[in-house]
A and B are shown apart, each in its own frame.
Chain A
Amino acid sequence: MKENRSGSTLEGLLKSGQVAVTAEVSPPDSANPEDLLKAARELAIVSDALNLTDAAGANCHMSSIGACALLAHEGYEVVMQMTCRDRNRIALQGDLLGASAIGIKNVLCLTGDDVTIGDQPETKRVFDFDSIQLLHTAKTMRDESVFLSGRQISASPKLFLGAAVNPFVEPIDFRPLRLAKKIEAGADFIQTQYCFDIKRFQDYMETVRRLGLHEKCYILVGVGPLRSELAAEFLRTKIPGVVIPDALVNRMRKTPKKKQREEGKRICVEIIQKVLEIKGVAGIHMMAYRQEDIVGEIIEEADLLPRPDKEMIQ
């Protein structure tokens, strides 16, 4: 894959062939920067880049771009998540420029959860773009130095562009082809939905390799610890797109309540180790909502510490 176009540390790390670890941070319901920095500090020690969600689950929080600006200012490597749910093409293109100017180097282009699952379901949804159109727009701005209108941009936004995929839901056969579409639209790296079903992921990656897609982008696999049997049930029934096999839920169920958190952690470590053995996987993406405190232990137990020194990466 070509030269480092964005100056992003994440891009440099992936290009060097090392396993990358990204971790998700949920921006706080607060205007106090310290609330964000507190959450970011510990995660940053055990990861290479922090993803800042963009009103995840269609719930209002500190904005992704605001949170990224704060963290980038403090020297953290961030991945700005950007959804098409709340902004039209004018706002999105403006934010891409603004983000790059602030020093944000990685952007994850998403469609976005629907407003109906959030706490303000009466909201007007935008979806002027879909994620693929957003990706392609960002790529056009970066590589051609123009807005979609054709108007010139004097300094183009140097961004490492990401996309999300969900290999675990229907239409299963179409999913690798959708990844191909995202790569063609401009995706440099991919972060997947939570992977709990190793078998299904292996099948997906087999097709991905057959199509040669793993050589055209870096795939980071989404992982996270289950807090309890109840949490597992909640995730798989209430959060759209999360698939957890019965066997895993049963394993949690058979574990005494007090030890479930420990078991969830162990499962997570096992999954990390298994996915990293799959050819074509470039790293992992940790999503441990409200369990940020154990992310460090998980990454350590998965033998992924210490993280490479950012200063050494070009």
Chain B
Amino acid sequence: MAIFGNLRNHPHWLETAYQLVEKIFRIADPLIRRIGYKRVDRWMHLPEKLSKGMLFDCQMCGQCTLHFTGMTCPMTCPKNLRNGPCGGVRSDKTCEVDPEMICIWVEAYERSTKMKVYGNEIHLIQPPLNQRFAGKSAFINELCCGDNSAPPAWKPTKGTEILL
């Protein structure tokens, strides 16, 4: 397991890998569509769960925000916060709810500052989770229904890339 812990501290490698996998899926999209998203989702489920589970402690929310959040899974935050840390972080950087774990947003922010591709995306506002996607492959969800994942009246915001 140490190797995975180690990898997490190299978010730049992870984001590159993520970028690559996403590209492959996009290229394969026409083929996947022909086979049927539902069917491919069934094949993808286990491999995705296992790989992302080991690497990110992925909770299979079905709407991957990893690259927005420093390649750190926000669903491991006990409050499932997707837009940044709550106000309860302890002075030793541990979580308000679970003093045994470092607040995932402390890690997410630190890591995103080391990411060259997606580093600034932590400043984008994430829409509420679409609970119908939970438990399914995030890559397939993105291909089949990515544009319709947010509530209809939710307007994407431009993000706060005013940065320092």
Contact = CB atoms under 8 A, between A and B. Distances in A.
Contacts of A211: 162, 164
Given A127-B80, A148-B153, A173-B164, 6 more contacts: A132-B83, A146-B153, A171-B89, A184-B125, A185-B125, A243-B91
B72 to A, nearest CB: 12
A53 interface: no
B127 A133 contact: yes
A146 B155 CA distance: 12
The 3 closest A-B CB pairs, nearest first, are: A240-B88, A166-B87, A148-B151
Contact of B123 (A133, A140, A165, A177): A177
Contacts of B88: 113-114, 166, 169, 240-241
Nearest to B155: A140
Contacts, number: 130
Interface of B: 78-91, 93, 96-97, 103, 105-106, 109-110, 122-123, 125-129, 131, 151-155, 157-160, 162-164
B160 A89 contact: no
B16 to A, nearest CB: 23
A169 B87 contact: yes
A136 B160 CA distance: 14
A114 B78 contact: yes
A174 B154 contact: no
Give chain B's interface secondary structure class: loop
A114 B106 contact: no
B125 A181 contact: yes
Contact of A241 (B82, B96, B106, B127): B96
Contacts of A42: none
A164 B87 contact: yes
Contacts of B123: 177, 180-181
A129 interface: yes
A147 B128 contact: no
B137 to A, nearest CB: 22
Nearest to B96: A240
B41 to A, nearest CB: 24
Contacts of B87: 111, 164-166, 169, 193, 240-241
B135 to A, nearest CB: 16
Contacts of A112: 79
Contact of B109 (A85, A128, A174, A207): A174
Contacts of A89: 128
B153 A185 contact: no
A257 interface: no
A129 B125 contact: no
A73 interface: no
Contacts of A279: none
Interface string A155-190: 000000000111001110110011011001100000
A144 interface: yes
24 contacts: A85-B79, A114-B96, A117-B96, A131-B83, A132-B125, A133-B128, A137-B128, A140-B153, A140-B155, A148-B128, A148-B152, A149-B151, A166-B87, A169-B87, A169-B89, A170-B91, A171-B85, A174-B122, A178-B85, A184-B160, A207-B164, A240-B87, A240-B89, A241-B96
B158 to A, nearest CB: 8
A150 B152 contact: yes
B109 A130 contact: no
A174 B128 contact: no
Contacts of B84: 132, 174, 178, 181
Contacts of A209: none
